Structure 1
Amino acid sequence: MIFNYGFGALVPLIVLLAAFSVRILREYQRGVVFQLGRFWKVKGPGLVLVIPGVQQMVRVDLRVVTMVVEPQDVISRDNVSVKVNAVVFFRVIDPQKAIIQVENFLLATSQLAQTTLRVVLGKHELDEMLAERERLNIDVQQILDAQTDAWGVKVTNVEIKDIDLSENMVRAIARQAEAERERRAKVIHAEGEKQAAVTLLEAARTLAQQPEALQLRYLQTMTQVAGDRASTVVLPLPLDLLRRWKAARTDEPPR
């Protein structure tokens, strides 16, 4: 009777102990198990047994974490103050290191991303920040990945979202862009004038060698003027009469 009574009291205790020992980890979770304070093993996913009072388990999520880096005040190499924010994508690849080597890998990665963003962008000028954003993303990602490797964290991607400028700087950049466009327009216009002058010089030389070509060009111009619907009156005047009249005024024999 005493044995039956003791066994009957032990069964509920065993059932209760088993209930508290069962853990279910999802596919994207791992459990870092400590036995009497010392690391034992990484378990999961699925059904995991943890002995209460002897073992403790810390759950670790292996999915990609999307972390928004707060806007950081950055002074570029050409002394321009801007606000920059970014997004960091990372995940845990070694649950043991993520729990043992760092107190809070989420907070540590966030703070490291903020400081790295300020340091990397502070080495570049404003034009490089605006034009070479892809290269800056790669630089920040490589630095973060190298430093978080000891924590069992893999930084997969970094994207710089916004680069906010002051209103004065925006107006200055707009004036600079407008001046650059005007400079290009003047250069293109000057190149066109130069090419036109060269072409006209070649045409003048050709017409000088063949006077008949000048007469044909004159007739062609008259045809174009007559074809336009304008109130222009054209009076053809032979060039020979002009030459004779000019020669008479200058007392020179006509050629």
Structure 2
Amino acid sequence: MDINEFLATNGVTLFLAALVILAVWKAVNIVPQSEKHVVERFGRLRAVLGPGINFIVPFLDRVAHRISILERQLPNAEQDAITKDNVLVKVETSVFYRILQPEKTVYRIRDVDGAISTTVAGIVRAGIGEMDLDEVQSNRQQLIDQIKAQVAYAVEDWGIEVTRAEILDVNLDQQTRDAMLQQLNAERARRAQVTEAEGRKRAIELKADADLYAAQKAAEARRISADAEGYATQVVAKAIADNGLEAAQYQVALKQVEALTAVGQGAGKQTIFVPANALEAFGDAFKMLKGKGGA
């Protein structure tokens, strides 16, 4: 049997075998973990295939779209905006998103990245227009949260989830920067003057406190000295009252003896010249001391 006869006899069988192999090949659809496949039948949505092995009807169904479900980052975009206090700023933003429902994305929006970029630009301009420049600088996180929430709501019908929204930079024109720099320098000078004035005030307060403390201590020392003198006076007065004039004379004589003894213990104590009345006072004191001792 030659080749022509073999083909004539088994051609149909070979065709059917090839058709079966092709059908099996087209029926098995393996979807990667990072993708979802949108299947159409006669131009209409038939199913969305998830990761793994999937089976479709060959020659009737076809994979029309292979959609990546990985997180995507839009190119950094810069747009002009005017703050509430009429300052022109350039805001650089970046948005991250991922597709959750490919059947909505492919049939409801043509250019996903362009649509999200336009939405973000409008939301940024509206948000900054409600804030002063100082608020834009200090409340950046609040503005980021506002942008993310509003963008997420806007793209919900497209089957997209906005995962992150960032404001990378807020730039000002040179004239505004110069004005802000002058204001900043003036504020720094004012703070320095206030700090210096507060320092001088504190130094005066501390000196006044120190002077008051010294005066209080001096008054307290004088009071203690006065109390001691008063107590000594009371003791002497009581001794005079109890023992009469003799007790007073005894105290005077005792002090004279102590004074002469101290003079004798000083330098050049070999010879001491004293007035005659001092010797008499010494003799009187000795007699009184002797009399006290005999008593």
Q: Which TM-score band (shorter chain)?
A: 0.7 to 0.9
Gaps of at least 5 residues in structure 1 are 214-255
Shift of 1:129: 1.7
Which residue of structure 1 aligns with residue 132 of structure 2? Answer: 125
Larger Rg: 2
Q: 8 Å contact 2:81–2:91 — kept in the other structure?
A: yes
Note the residue ranges of structure 2 that are not aligned, 5 or more in a row. 222-295
The structure-2 alpha-carbon separation of the partners of 1:54 and 1:4, relative to structure 1 and needing over 3 Å to count, comes to: same
- Name the counterpart of 2:31: 25
- Equivalent-residue separation in structure 1 for 2:212 and 2:35 (angstroms): 87
Alpha-carbon distance change, 22 to 180 in structure 1, aligned in 2, over 3 angstroms: same
Q: CA deviation at 1:3?
A: 7.2
**TM-score, structure 2 normalization:** 0.64
Note closer, same or farther for the CA distance 1:206–1:11 as it changes in structure 2 (3 Å cut).
closer
Q: Does 1:193 align with 2:190?
A: no
Q: Does residue 1:60 correspond to 2:37, yes or no?
A: no
Corresponding residue SS for 1:68: coil
89, 98, 111: which one aligns with 2:96 = 89
For the aligned residues, what is the CA RMSD?
A: 2.7
- The number of aligned residues is 213
Query: Letter of the aligned partner of 1:35 in structure 2?
Result: R
Alignment match, 1:178: 185
| CA contact 2:77–2:117 (8 Å) conserved in 1 | no
Once the two structures are superposed, what CA deviation does each residue of 1:48-107 show, in whole Å capped at 9, x if it has no partner?
445565323211111111112421011111111111111101111222222233233333
* Distance in 2 of aligned mates of 1:68 and 1:129: 22
- CA displacement at 1:192 relative to structure 2: 1.9
Corresponding residue for 2:11? 5
Q: CA–CA distance in 2 between the matches of 1:202 and 1:41?
A: 87
Partner SS for 2:85: coil
Please say which of residues 84-93 and 98-107 is displaced more in the overlay: 98-107
Show the counterpart of 1:36: 42
Q: How far 1:35 sits from its partner (Å)?
A: 1.3
Per the alignment, do residues 110 and 3 of structure 1 end up closer, same or farther by CA in structure 2, a change over 3 Å counting? Answer: farther
Give SS of 2:70's match. Answer: coil
| Distance in 1 of aligned mates of 2:179 and 2:144 | 26
Conserved 8 A contact 1:69-1:114: no
Deviation at 1:130, TM superposition (A): 1.6
Counterpart Cα distance in 1 of 2:198 and 2:106: 68
1:47 aligned partner: 53
* One-letter code aligned to 1:9: F
CA–CA distance in 2 between the matches of 1:45 and 1:100?
Answer: 21
The structure, 1 or 2, with the larger RCO (C-alpha pairs under 8 Å, 6+ apart) is: 1
Aligned equivalents of 1:65, 1:194: Cα separation in 2: 60
**1:161 partner SS:** strand
Q: 1:69 to 1:123 in 2, by over 3 A?
A: farther
Match of 2:165 in 1: 158
Match of 1:139, as an amino acid? Answer: Q
Contact 2:38–2:48 (8 Å) recurs in 1:
yes
Whether the 8 Å contact between 1:88 and 1:159 is mirrored in structure 2 is yes
Whether the 8 Å CA contact 1:90–1:157 is kept in 2: the answer is yes
